[in-house]
Amino acid sequence: MAESAASLGQFDFAGDDHVVPFQVEGLDVRGRAVQLGPLLDAILARHSYPAPVARLLAEAVVLTVLLGTSLKFEGKFTVQTKSDGPVDLLVADFSTPENVRAYARFDDEALAKAVAAGKTEPEQLLGKGVLAFTIDQGRFTQPYQGIVALDGASLEEIAGTYFRQSEQIPTRVRLGAAELFDRDEAGKPRHRWRAGGLVAQFLPEAPERMRQPDLHGGDGDTSVRAHVEDDAWAEARTLVETIDADELTDPQVGTERLLFRLFHERGVRVYEPKAVFDRCTCSRDKLKGVLQGFSAEEIEASQDNGEIAVTCEFCSTTYRFEVSEVADA
């Protein structure tokens, strides 16, 4: 890590919308933790998502921020689900070094039935499908994509499976979201969303210590695979699993305080926090370029009274174009 390390008490707490890198030397663990407040609230309020959808998208945003801020190059990291559940699409992307946006698509009728039946856990809302992690470094590069099946597990469990399959790094992810009802400084009722998360990875100097048990081979696989988990990682993983969901979102706990609670006996170090922002990457020029690639028939079908209106699904900004701006000369 290039950032300068510090200990609790040597600087102000990072606060909301700042990712805090950390290291636990005694356990050979590195990771990142974050609490999202105003940024997340703005993303969710923009579309007035129903609470179950908002909670699910909040977890996806936290996961995207935690993983996207680890990129050491200019590019974009995207988390996207496609599934057969009431929420059939989640998209959250992080553009380095600091911009995040997100969007969810859901079926109103299917969601209402799920809520009535009490089936509002993330895995129930998503159903069966796939979760894709995409890294795109821009022009002249081939995007990398890792795909994990949505099989009834939570987003944090699926993220762990991704790291196990794609990077062979022992990883534990924790995610949480909370809907808060309180009062502002003037005493007026206020509704807010908060979310938080942590990713911890086992990165010892000796690669053989990172060995993990083999993945199950599916139906009919009855082979026995002996495996002894490294003691340091077993301790770190157990500590991370003790985190209560409320700790991840409670502003009174804070990211650094949570890390201290977990790892102070092992000498946790925290590094310079990285701010993240609710910023969409759409623009009039980008959308104009897309429309200029349309055929004459597509232009005609898209226009209304000589005008084409395009609304960004992420930020809800509407761009209007005269047909003459985008049609072939």
Considering the entire predicted model, what is its pTM?
Answer: 0.87
pLDDT at residue 5, as a whole number? 52
271 and 323 housed in the same domain: no
pLDDT mean across residues, the chain: 87
- pLDDT beyond 80 at 134: yes
Q: Is residue 196 part of a domain?
A: yes
Write down the pLDDT at residue 268: 93
As a whole number, mean pLDDT of residues 6-19 equals 69
Domain count, the chain: 2
In a shared domain, residues 190 and 289: no
Q: 309 lies in which domain range?
A: 284-327
What confidence tens digit (pLDDT) does each residue in 52-97 have?
A: 999 999 999 999 999 999 988 889 999 999 999 999 999 999 999 9
Looking at per-residue confidence, does 206 or 80 come out higher? 80
| CATH (domain of 115) | 3.55.30.10
Closest to 143 measured CA to CA, from 94, 78, 89: 78
Tell me what percent of the residues of the chain surpass a pLDDT of 90. 60
- Same domain? For 255 and 108 the reply is yes
H helices of the chain, where?
38-45, 51-68, 108-116, 122-126, 155-166, 231-241, 245-249, 255-263, 284-292, 296-302, 323-326
The verdict on 299 and 194 lying in the same domain is: no
